[in-house]
Structure 1
Amino acid sequence: MIAYIRGILTSIQDESILIDVNGIGYEIVCPNPFVFQESMNKEIKVTTYHHVREDAQILYGFKDEEEKYLFTKLISVSGIGPKGALAVLGSVDINGFVAAIEREDDKFLTSFPGIGKKTARQIILDLKGKLTHQFSITTDSDNQKENSVPIKEIGEAIEALKALGYTEKELKHIQPELQKLSAKDTDEIIRKALSLLMK
């Protein structure tokens, strides 16, 4: 099992990064490759999960051990494969996601691509009570509600920007910045996104 890769970040693509390790290039599939942009052409260490199938061996990369841990737990749930887990991790606040599982928030969980009601219930059944030792979650109900809002609003903003003609690559590029916003209003997120896209 390959637990991490250390080398020079030479390329960032829509779904993966390329790291040169002593002349060997490792392609690593990531939830959002653009979180590594500040490390372009520098040496970095990427936490990895080595996924082996009959027809392929794929390296999945994460910004930290917590993200990797949640990935491994998600793919253990019936109905969620690596692609589905990556889609969740690419657009979620991890602590907010764990809090949603603990409060059995089906509506929040089904806001992610590929997760229907049946899969959301399976996530709750399989993971409730098994993640809180690894992640700190907010117990205050108002704060939990706040945690569940941004994902929906960011999703709406992303769809609106796609309708304006912006590409998936451009939007992935700015998503890490959007997730840092305190704004909860879709229009405000769109305005901030447009200012980032025009830079």
Structure 2
Amino acid sequence: MIGRLIGELIEKQPPHLLVDVQGVGYEVEASMNTFFRLPEVGQQVLLHTHFVVREDAQLLYGFIDKKERTLFRSLIKANGVGPKLAISILSGMTTNEFIGCLVREDSTALTRIPGVGKKTAERLIVELKDKLQPLQQDEPADFQLTATDVPDMAQHLASFREEAESALVSLGYKPAHAAKAVSQAEQKLGSNVSIEELIRLSLKSMVSG
């Protein structure tokens, strides 16, 4: 069982990461909430991990903190929820937002996440509401983007748009909906944009409906 990785962040192509640990490159899949909080490529990163073994694959999922990993593990124990759907849920909402939906029994908000139908949302509320409420606590504030954070943005905007759309599609959103959400987010952000913020705002608009 691989429970933690500490190494150099070599690549981040949302939602996939590559971490070099003493010369061994680990391919890791992460939620967008973890992706938003990663350091820059080339820097050290610590990820709490969950290892999944299937007949056709061995998959490693990484989380920036233990709280998110705990939620992931609770989700995949729920009836009808696999790792892919759990990552989509963790990408569409923060831990507190998801638990808030459970506490309020807000199944409508949950169904805006790809793969979560009405029955699945209601089942998640029944199965996880009481179990996960203790996890609800303060989360890190959203980072504030400034022009100095994003040099030479004009030449990167097209690649950012493509990468953001690809990330949303990998989470289960339809290509046309992903393209529309990214375009709207891009218009709101203007020239001060990073790939993290572009994906974050696109996801927010899609989940909030």
CA distance in 2, matches of 1:35, 1:167: 17
- CA deviation after TM superposition for structure 1 residue 191, in Å: 3.9
2:104 corresponds in structure 1 to 103
CA distance in 2, matches of 1:198, 1:24: 29
CA contact (8 A) 1:170 1:197 kept: no
CA contact (8 A) 2:39 2:45 kept: no
Residues 64-114 of structure 1 deviation map (CA, whole Å, 9 limit, x = unaligned)? 111111111111111111111111111212112101101211111111110
CA contact (8 A) 2:38 2:64 kept: no
Matched ranges for 1:1-199 at <5 A: 1-32=1-32, 34-35=35-36, 37-136=38-137, 166-169=161-164, 191-197=187-193
- CA deviation after TM superposition for structure 1 residue 14, in Å: 2.9
Identity of aligned residues (%): 37
Structure 2 gaps of 5+ residues are 139-159, 169-183, 196-209
Alpha-carbon RMSD across the aligned residues, in angstroms, is 2.8
Aligned length: 159
TM-score w.r.t. length of structure 1: 0.70
SS at match of 2:39: helix
2:198 corresponds in structure 1 to none
TM-score w.r.t. length of structure 2: 0.67
Structure 1 gaps of 5+ residues are 138-164, 174-187
- AA partner of residue 68 (structure 1): R
SS at match of 2:125: helix
